[in-house]
Amino acid sequence: MDRDFIARNQVVERYLSGRLPIKGATDFERFCRDNPELLDELGIPERVNAALRLLDASGKPEPWAEVPKPFWQKLQIVLGLLGATLALAIALALTANSSAEKTRQIANLQQEATERPLDPATSTRDIHLLPSRDGASNTPAIIIGGGSEAQLADLRIDESRSPYRLFRITIDRINQGRVAIIDHLAKDSDSNLRIALNSTALGPGDYQLTIEGLSWQGQPQPDSWVTIGVRATQ
């Protein structure tokens, strides 16, 4: 291969367009390596500069530029996603464990309330309660039990200020779990809700009574709250 052969067979144009056979391309590259001045004679640098200007004008990257990686292939982002996934998995596990523990506590309280032996009540105590409409409180409004014998506590909860006729009362042992739900409880003639409790029925602790009024559709609506304390029989 010499200069005349290159010019006569349009080797440069065929090489640049990729139409030159592999052997011809190899021979041409070898000839250029042995005769580097040929590149200037053929105007190769000017052609390359013109091609680079075209790439720049079109916004395309140079052929040797590194192809940008998709964001999911970047190490920092991958590590961040793995960390977030791990943190979410731990949070879900802790939440599930906490929920399971609360479920066990509620089941234990319900079983305890069901199986608790009751002492016979030897007296009845009438207790009038005015529930709070501003929110629940952890401070008992009244204490039942604590004496030498069991009492029957006749709770009379004043609902004269409430527009509802029927109510649902939920009883929760504070900071422990749900004990009972009394549904469709109606006011008496004095506008009181009446609940009779043996003082040994619930066990020692403080209990929050959440009182909800039932709409004409039977949907519960927040109404008022009252907290009572129960003390063990001595």
Provide the pLDDT confidence category of residue 41 given band limits of 50, 70 and 90. Answer: confident
6-20, 67-81, 120-134, range with the lowest pLDDT: 67-81
Higher pLDDT, 40 or 223: 223
For position 65, what pLDDT does the model report?
58
Residue 70, pLDDT above cutoff 80: no
**Is beta strand 123-129 parallel, antiparallel or unpaired with respect to 151-158?**
parallel
CATH class as words, domain 123-231: mainly beta
Share of the chain above pLDDT 70, in %: 84
Q: What is the mean pLDDT of the chain?
A: 81
pLDDT digits (tens, 9 = 90+) for 81-121: 777 888 888 888 787 777 777 777 766 666 665 555 667 77
Q: What does the pLDDT read at residue 73?
A: 58
pLDDT at residue 160 in the model: 93
Q: What's residue 188's pLDDT?
A: 93
DSSP count for the chain of H helices, then E strands: 6, 8
Distance CA 5, CA 99 (A): 85
- Of the candidates 167, 160, 161, the one whose C-alpha atom is nearest the C-alpha of residue 185 is 167
Q: Which residues, in sequence order, are CB contacts of 188 under 8 Å at separation 6+? A: 194
Q: Give the predicted TM-score (pTM) of the model.
A: 0.50
185-209 mean pLDDT: 89
- Per DSSP, the residues of 68-131 read PPPGGGSHHHHHHHHHHHHHHHHHHHHHHHHHHHHHHHHHHHHHHHHHPPPPPP-EEEEEEE--
- Residue 229: the pLDDT is 92
Q: What is the DSSP string of 20-73?
A: S-HHHHHHHHHHHHH-THHHHHTTHHHHHHHHHHHHHHHTPPPTTSPPPPPGGG
219 pLDDT tier (thresholds 50, 70, 90): very high
pLDDT of residue 111: 64
Average pLDDT of the residues in 53-60: 71
Nearest Cα residue to 185 out of 171, 206, 172: 171
Specify which residues 143 forms β-bridges with. 229
Predicted confidence (pLDDT) per residue in 118-146, tens digit: 677 778 889 999 999 998 888 999 998 87
Mean pLDDT highest for which of 1-5, 21-25, 102-106, 171-175? 171-175
Q: For residue range 205-217, what is the model confidence (pLDDT) as tens digits? A: 999 999 999 998 8
Domain spans, the chain: 3-58, 71-115, 123-231
227 or 117, greater pLDDT:
227
